[in-house]
Structure 1
Amino acid sequence: MTGFVYPFHSKPLVEVIQELDIVAGLQNVLSNTSAEVWGREDESFHTSATIFNGAVKTFASAVVRPRDARHVSETVKFCQEKGLQLSVKAGGTGVHGGSVAGHIILDLCLLNDISVDLVDTSLPLSENISSSSKRPSICTTSGESYKRSAEEDVDHPSRSRQRINSRDGSASSVSQHSGDSDTSTSWTNPNVIRNGSGSRSDSGSTSTPTTSTTSSDVPTLPPVPQPRMTYVNPTPTTTSAFPFVASSFGGAPSTSAVAMWNSFGPQRLMLNTNPDPPPHVIVTFGAGVRSKQLDAYTAASRYGAFHVPTSAFPVGSGQFLTGGFGFIGRKHGLAMDNLVEAELVLADGRIVWVGEDTHSGEWLPDEDPRDVWYALRGAGSMLGVVTRFRAKAYYLPSVYAGNLIYAFDRQTTPDLLRHLRDCIKGAPRTVYCNIIITAGPTDNSSIVAIQLCFSGSRSEGEVFVQAISSWDGGQSIFRDFSERTFERQQVAVEEILKGGAGRKWYIKSGMLNSLSDEVIEETCQRFAAVPDGCTWLFEYTGGGAVKDVKDSCWPLSHRESAFTVAALHQWGHFEPAALDNSCVLTAEVWIDEVIIPNSPGGPLPCFLQSSAEADVRGTYGSAYDRLVSIKRQYDPTGFFRHVLWPQTEIKSLTNGMNGNCKATDESGEGLGAESL
């Protein structure tokens, strides 16, 4: 693609009903509910209409913030009746504008309840809707009296105090530091009741709606339990020299590698352990819950620190519909692979529940829930609005993780990447590796950051760290490894993107069958010429649990790839137009000319940035035709149009309906990437 200039603004909406007061109509429909409705003149409108990608502007007229599936259903019916377009924020529609492209933005941020249950006590979604008219809770727990605000407790993993709630409403408190340490403290959750043999005899769930509360709502906490102390020996860190780190690591032109990466200083580590953890637990959560909130909550589970496999921060729940590969993805699979059940509002407003072995709700006689379950995990945004999820979480109180940073050099970096590739080839599933190459403003200021995370033993991790460090082409300029909570490790990517919110973004991705010498050489040659603000990464997926899933609309041919590759480009709003072109085209050309020829097809659905039919077909491969049939059955009018789906298909369904606000060109190419 040539001449593709940023920013990607949505096109002005063609008003279907010129005289319609959209805000007043929505307020009337939702008047007897606790849903929120905002117009363009309201400050809350602009909060919801603003996304991570600052290049995107919206022409929407109203924002609806629902609190349960019924509010979503009424909104969908209103839009259908009035001929209005709906876009969904937190619906897996991407960073390139689909979430704010309609007449009405459905912002799911208030659907933020979370609960953690043992497998045999976890209720289906259809059975755990509260009768409360003010705020239906995901899970009603007898005696639960304490409500925790998402902002209060999960705004940062370095919070000074972590609350853990028991079934009877009591709470215990654990002092917590930065989440990684060379001196660790392990404690056993006092809410897990044990009999004389040491086996678990607890029941029920830990459930806390994350509704904002005032300090008066927080009960007095009992004394902190006496922790059991253990110690972790520190790993020496080389800090002899630090290059300039590109502004893509936060936008500050003088940021050093130390400031960006040396945030894991030796501190006391508090772990939420369980000597007899269950294989996994079930986490129920609303679509407005982001990865950071989810990790903070499940890390404080009464059953020990559990985590749902997700991408690292700052992504949201859309990953459960379109992908989600992260630090434990090779061990436990994608976020969408660990989905157990979902609550879904269809295009006609019906509410249904569907899972692998269960379904209920307003299904029609000719509908097969198995088709919806198949499409939901990979192409869910085209089907409807998912309001709640149930997913598996796995016990993981800590990981051994860190970073090796080398200066990028056009002559020596190819040899470093070949060495790294050979070190991790065939690694056990407990090993995660991500190669991040980021560009600085001068030729000698770019860096290669190697992120490693080991969910197995520390000794296993050290073997790989030492093997990679043995490269004889040069010494690392920064090294930082320690035992840390998984929650703290999840911040690593967010720190790379620090300062990126509100800047212009362009994301392009693909899958890679193998990291061949040719791909390495071409990548390093092209990267030497990219603008400041560009980051290219190779995330190792090969040989992991991703390929174990067979009943998915994201095909096995793609799941067997060795790497997921992405170009993450960000830059400011006041750069010349030439830089807009350069930042977009360097990503496009690298992926199209170097990665795609060595790829099984398109990227993970969450990274799909084009709605051209050939690109969408490339992502879903052999599953595409079946997905087309499912879309036509469950959304026959193409109501859900601002999604990762071919615009030619949408247009054929809408049969020439007015009001195209999707940013497309004549070829049908549109916008979309992982919901950030």
Structure 2
Amino acid sequence: MTTTATPTGTSFDDLAAGLRGELITPTDPGYDQARAVYNAMIDKRPAAIARCRDTVDVIACVRFARERGLELAVRGGGHNAAGLGVWDGALVVDLSAMRSTTVDPEQHTVRADAGCVWGDVDHATVGFGMATPSGFLASTGVAGLTLGGGIGYLTRRFGLTVDNLLEADVVLADGSFVKASENSHSDLFWALRGGGGNFGIVTSFTFRCHDIGEHGTIIGGPVLYDVADTADVMRWYRELLPSLPEELSGWIGLITVPPAAPFPEELWGRGACAIVWCYTGPHDRADEVLEPIRAFGSPMLIGLHDMPFTVLQSAFDGLYPAGLQWYWRADFFNEISDAAIDVHCRFGASLPTGHSTMHLYPIDGAAARVPESATPFSYRDGGWAGVIVGVDPDPANAELISQWARDYWEALHPTSAGGAYVNFLMEEGQDRVRASYRGNYDRLAAVKGRYDPDNVFHINQNVRPATDSGAVAT
């Protein structure tokens, strides 16, 4: 294919000729599809999109952009809340075609290319009765979730995703290639475990895996309570969760019951306080462990069943396909206070659309035993990562869902720990980025100064490079 000069005045012919993958520019028929990301509220027009097939393609893109002074954006699974995998006028390094996985069942490891989504990894590992901690949707990208920290169903038992990262292949800002691990480029390896895409383009990850359930079968699913019971449910949940064995985890949220199977038709459209549970321990202990859950309150639905872990991980993918409008606000919480519960009750009773929701994800157990300075992810106080999302298919409702999320967050934020999970941030400014890394920010800035002193990788939740004097560049 022969390309033409883009509106930036750059010809991409040389780059296109040297790629194994495809180079897409604004004049190509597939351009609009290629620039679309999971959040349809994002509408960016990059100068070109390089669908890389291997690490050499990635190196070629970085060198091409550096030589021509082009902005670089990096896209993995495309789930990023702020849509930072695309950018106006940038060369997008699209890793989505790089999706191979390799499992070593004897060593309990999996290697995943950076274009994989978690469904790819779970498919590869759960067949061997293993998994690595990930998120809550199978369609989420491995790269973005990992680089931000990685909170999921297995976090209480096995830690964050970054706590299970063993090695990463990385293309640096000068186009060179390194392997980062505890024994090689250890400072870079530290920074990658929660510091986002600030330090290079990771082209593959190697994770530690763990045996789960019985041959990969867990017991899990939702328990739904009427939204009017939210206060009682949240007070019970906040006391119960820390006392549970780490094989059992559950996130709590405020939802509208989806009008779809397997939810009973008489519940469709009702407001609910939901807890989605996941038990990965021995099945002969399940009745004992789950007894306090089955015994509490007056649930509208108890949907706990044996299932492959892959089923739980993908359970909500169909309800949240790519192409919806999303507006995110988030915070960490050390506790679910009575003041916070009052806010949740108020806004949970007025969800603006059927897809709009609030979730609280626990960060305790194994994750809380890791020192906060061991990785950039510093909020390991045994609390929760909270997220408020206004979601709807109709662009006409974009302002409605955004205002609801902003109002909810502004009311709730005074009860928070200050910062937020970087994977949930929109474009909210440097103060929010700093607050999200707390005491680890300065070390991140120092590593950034060594590996990306020119801030080539800045279309992200940006950590600005420290200068030789130790000051952070503005």
- Residue in 2 aligned with 1:343? 169
Label 1:17 to 1:476 Cα distance change in 2 as closer, same or farther (>3 A): closer
Aligned mates of 2:316, 2:428 — CA distance in 1: 27
Count of paired positions:
452
Match of 1:447 among 248, 272, 282: 272
In the alignment, is the contact (CA less than 8 A) between 1:85 and 1:104 conserved in 2?
A: yes
Higher relative helix content = 2
- Residue in 1 aligned with 2:198? 382
Match of 1:20 among 10, 23, 40: 10
Paired AA for residue 99 in structure 2: N
Paired AA for residue 292 in structure 1: G
Aligned mates of 2:154, 2:140 — CA distance in 1: 15
In the alignment, is the contact (CA less than 8 A) between 1:93 and 1:644 conserved in 2?
A: no
Residue 171 (structure 2) pairs with residue 355 (structure 1): no
1:493 aligns to what SS in structure 2? Answer: coil
Match of 2:352 among 517, 521, 531: 531
Residue 249 (structure 2) pairs with residue 432 (structure 1): yes
In the alignment, is the contact (CA less than 8 A) between 2:333 and 2:384 conserved in 1?
A: yes
Aligned mates of 2:121, 2:371 — CA distance in 1: 24
- Calculate the TM-score normalised by the size of structure 1: 0.62
Aligned-pair CA distance for 1:541: 2.3
Unpaired runs of 5+ residues, structure 1, are 1-14, 119-277, 360-368, 656-676
Paired AA for residue 14 in structure 2: G
- Residue in 2 aligned with 1:125? none
Match of 1:290 among 112, 117, 122: 117
Percent identity between matched residues is: 25
In the alignment, is the contact (CA less than 8 A) between 1:404 and 1:451 conserved in 2?
A: yes
Paired AA for residue 129 in structure 2: A
Aligned mates of 1:41, 1:454 — CA distance in 2: 50
Unpaired runs of 5+ residues, structure 2, are 259-266
Match of 1:565 among 386, 389, 408: 386
- Residue in 1 aligned with 2:369? 547
Aligned-pair CA distance for 1:19: 3.5
2:13 aligns to what SS in structure 1? Answer: helix
In the alignment, is the contact (CA less than 8 A) between 2:133 and 2:151 conserved in 1?
A: yes
Match of 2:100 among 113, 121, 131: 113
Aligned mates of 2:53, 2:166 — CA distance in 1: 22
- Residue in 2 aligned with 1:312? 136
Label 1:567 to 1:459 Cα distance change in 2 as closer, same or farther (>3 A): farther
Match of 1:466 among 291, 310, 325: 291
In the alignment, is the contact (CA less than 8 A) between 2:343 and 2:411 conserved in 1?
A: no
1:403 aligns to what SS in structure 2? Answer: strand
2:121 aligns to what SS in structure 1? Answer: helix
In the alignment, is the contact (CA less than 8 A) between 2:464 and 2:472 conserved in 1?
A: no
Aligned mates of 2:404, 2:284 — CA distance in 1: 40
Aligned mates of 1:493, 1:288 — CA distance in 2: 21
- Residue in 1 aligned with 2:65? 79
Label 1:440 to 1:346 Cα distance change in 2 as closer, same or farther (>3 A): same
In the alignment, is the contact (CA less than 8 A) between 1:378 and 1:552 conserved in 2?
A: no
Aligned-pair CA distance for 1:559: 1.0
Q: Give 1:271-670 correspondences, 5 Å limit.
A: 281-300=108-127, 304-313=128-137, 314-317=139-142, 318-357=144-183, 359=184, 369-396=185-212, 397-409=216-228, 412-439=229-256, 445-472=270-297, 475-497=298-320, 500-532=321-353, 533-556=355-378, 558-575=379-396, 579-594=397-412, 596-645=413-462
Label 1:417 to 1:611 Cα distance change in 2 as closer, same or farther (>3 A): closer
Aligned mates of 1:88, 1:437 — CA distance in 2: 33
Structure exhibiting the larger radius of gyration computed from Cα positions: 1
Paired AA for residue 72 in structure 1: V
Cα deviation digits, residues 544-598 of structure 1 (max 9, x gap): 4343255534354x111321111122113342xxx4333223222333432x333
Paired AA for residue 326 in structure 1: G
Aligned mates of 2:382, 2:319 — CA distance in 1: 25
Label 1:554 to 1:598 Cα distance change in 2 as closer, same or farther (>3 A): farther
Label 1:386 to 1:555 Cα distance change in 2 as closer, same or farther (>3 A): closer
Aligned mates of 1:553, 1:610 — CA distance in 2: 23
Question: Per chain length, whose mean CA-contact separation is higher, i.e. which structure has more relative contact order (CA < 8 Å, sep 6+)?
Answer: 1
1:425 aligns to what SS in structure 2? Answer: helix
Aligned mates of 1:116, 1:98 — CA distance in 2: 30
- Residue in 1 aligned with 2:262? none
Q: Give 1:163-312 correspondences, 5 Å limit.
A: 281-300=108-127, 304-312=128-136
Label 1:460 to 1:525 Cα distance change in 2 as closer, same or farther (>3 A): farther
- Calculate the TM-score normalised by the size of structure 2: 0.88
Paired AA for residue 92 in structure 2: I
Paired AA for residue 41 in structure 1: T
Aligned-pair CA distance for 1:629: 2.1
Paired AA for residue 486 in structure 1: F
Paired AA for residue 376 in structure 2: W
In the alignment, is the contact (CA less than 8 A) between 1:63 and 1:107 conserved in 2?
A: yes
Cα deviation digits, residues 297-353 of structure 1 (max 9, x gap): 1223xxx32112111222111111112111111111111211100011111111111
In the alignment, is the contact (CA less than 8 A) between 1:372 and 1:630 conserved in 2?
A: yes
Aligned-pair CA distance for 1:286: 0.6
Runs of 4+ in structure 1 off by over 6 angstroms are: 647-650, 652-655
Aligned mates of 2:425, 2:382 — CA distance in 1: 16
Cα deviation digits, residues 143-171 of structure 1 (max 9, x gap): xxxxxxxxxxxxxxxxxxxxxxxxxxxxx
Aligned mates of 1:370, 1:63 — CA distance in 2: 32
Aligned mates of 1:404, 1:91 — CA distance in 2: 30
1:525 aligns to what SS in structure 2? Answer: helix
2:437 aligns to what SS in structure 1? Answer: helix
Aligned mates of 1:553, 1:425 — CA distance in 2: 23
In the alignment, is the contact (CA less than 8 A) between 2:20 and 2:53 conserved in 1?
A: yes
In the alignment, is the contact (CA less than 8 A) between 2:447 and 2:465 conserved in 1?
A: no
Paired AA for residue 402 in structure 1: G
Aligned-pair CA distance for 1:611: 4.5
In the alignment, is the contact (CA less than 8 A) between 2:155 and 2:365 conserved in 1?
A: no
- Residue in 2 aligned with 1:232? none
